[in-house]
Each structure stands twice: as structure tokens, then as C-alpha cells.
Chains A and B, each alone.
Chain A
């Protein structure tokens, strides 16, 4: 079977009150579903790897084929649970090691 290529994204969350892990993931799923529908969202392979509340940075994993879809969806997020929010992709890498070394 062909190996699925993945990408890891470090995403900074900007919101007055930091959302919980659950709220963050739901907001990302909702944005992807709004833009690409349920079938599109199911192809992203989206998963939350780490949520650093202190630095307001989340690490998510997506399939390489859907990287652009997820990036575009993240950019469209303006609200999380009726509170103003935005997300900024800090870096993208093929490995977690690479992502963390870039973050340093």
C-alpha cells in the first residue's frame, strides 16, 4: 500500500480567551467542512498533535494532498464560539522534529 505523505503545521491561535483543545479542533473541522463539505473534510486526515496553551500554539497533522485546503480553511476562521479569533500558520514541515526545530 502506498504510504500517505503528511505535513505538520504549527498554528498560532489569536483569541482573547484561549479556546480549549476541543474548541480549537471543532473550529478547524467546522472551517474545513464549511469550505469543502463533509467529503472534502474527510479527506484531510486532520488530527491534533499538541496544544500548547502557554504559547498559544497548536500542532496539527494533515495529509499532504489536503495541505492547501486546510491552510485556506484556517485563514477563514474569524470566530470561535462567538468570540473573535484568528489563526496564523507559523510553519509547515514533513516531520515533527523539523517543525519543532523551526519553531526554536
Chain B
């Protein structure tokens, strides 16, 4: 069976249509079938429809994603309550331990992301992994810092990532490899992205799962949940009777 590849973390100024289109075309040519843009500004319905049409023209499936940087547990729960049902993928960028722990144990969170530049703000330890493994959160690793950093900062980042990936594997937390880029020159094909995972001591199958099976499973699960027929996990409306 051929794999479907997904890059759930592309960045682009979505108001700049030409630049966005170039990124979409490049993603399609590299072999991605699902992409998501991390957007901090909300698009109106018309803009979102245009973006979706651009993706459709390039035979790419657009996944709606929201990134959030909560500063406290309260802010996180408030955000989830407000936006969970509006986006297919929710990513929490954990800036402190309190938020990281709450995000890991909240079933509404899909992706946990940590600062790549400040290794002291990477809170994905065994406790975090244990909480995440009991829920549905996956660890997202952006490869952009691996491409742009050099020397000691890259060594430190690789060290942290290798440890985190090991912990994630031990506790069965899914790993998602994303590009995290907004420029075409930093975009890599799914297999090249997976090859960067060798730097994190991942074998080929696990690395390829991180760019295909794991992200697509999150999208499929959430689309099902957001569908009108979903009632609760394991329960869905098969047929509606007459009132």
C-alpha cells in the first residue's frame, strides 16, 4: 500500500496569495497529499475558501490547524473550549511546565510543540510522555531548526530531540515530523524529511510513520469527530429515523 504523506506545519503569510500558492504547489510536487498551515491570524470564510480552492487545484488536501501559546492552564482550557470544534488539528506550543502538563492530559489537544531555540523550555520528559500516552496528544518535531541552526545550538537541539524521541517511543506517544517552514527552499520531500529523523536515532519505518501514518491518523480521527454523525467515541449515527 502506498503511503499518504502529510506536512501539518507549513507557515505562510496566508494574506499573501502568491507566496502561499507557491508553497502549496511545491508541497504537491514534493509528494504531500495533506498539508496544514499554522496561522496566527484568523482567515475569514472567503479567504479560507480561496485557500482551499488553491489546494484543490494542486490536488492537496488542506487541513485546518490552530496554534496557540497559552500562558496558563486557564488560558489553555478557555482556548480549547472556544476553538476545538472549529479546527481539525490543535497544536499547543508549551511555554511553561504547567501548560505542558495540562496540554498533555487534555484529550482535546492533538499536538504538543516545544521551543526549538530554548532547550530549557522543552518539557517533554517521562512524566509528560506518560500523561500524553494516556490521552491523544502527539509530539510534534519541526525540522526547520535542524536546517537553519549550526554548531553548538544544533548539537544541543539534537541532544534534546534524541532524548525526547526515545521517551516518546518508550511510552507509545506518536511522533509527528513537520517541516515548520514557510520558504520553498527549506521544504523537503517526505522521504528527505524522514531521513532527517535518522539524526534522532529513528529507524526508517518509524520515521516514515511520523510523516505519513501518524499525522493522517490524527486528521482522520478529528474529521470523524467533527462530522455530524459523531456522537461519542465508538458511537455514531448510522441512520436517522422519522420523527
Contact = CB atoms under 8 A, between A and B. Distances in A.
Report whether chain A binds chain B: yes
A68 interface: yes
Counting contact residues on chain A (CB < 8 A from B), the size range is: 10 to 19
A85 B189 CA distance: 14
Interface string B194-212: 0110110000100000000
Interface residues of B, number: 19
B188 A88 contact: yes
Interface stretch (A42-50, A55-63, A74-82): A74-82
B185 A76 contact: no
Given A78-B148, A86-B186, A88-B30, A35 B199 contact: yes
A84 interface: yes
Contacts of A74: 192, 195
Contacts of A68: 195, 198, 204
A14 B185 contact: yes
B191 A89 contact: yes
B196 A75 contact: yes
Contacts of B150: 34
Interface of A: 14, 34-35, 68-69, 71-72, 74-76, 78, 84-86, 88-89
In the A-B complex, the 4 residue pairs with the closest CB atoms? A71-B195, A68-B198, A75-B192, A84-B185
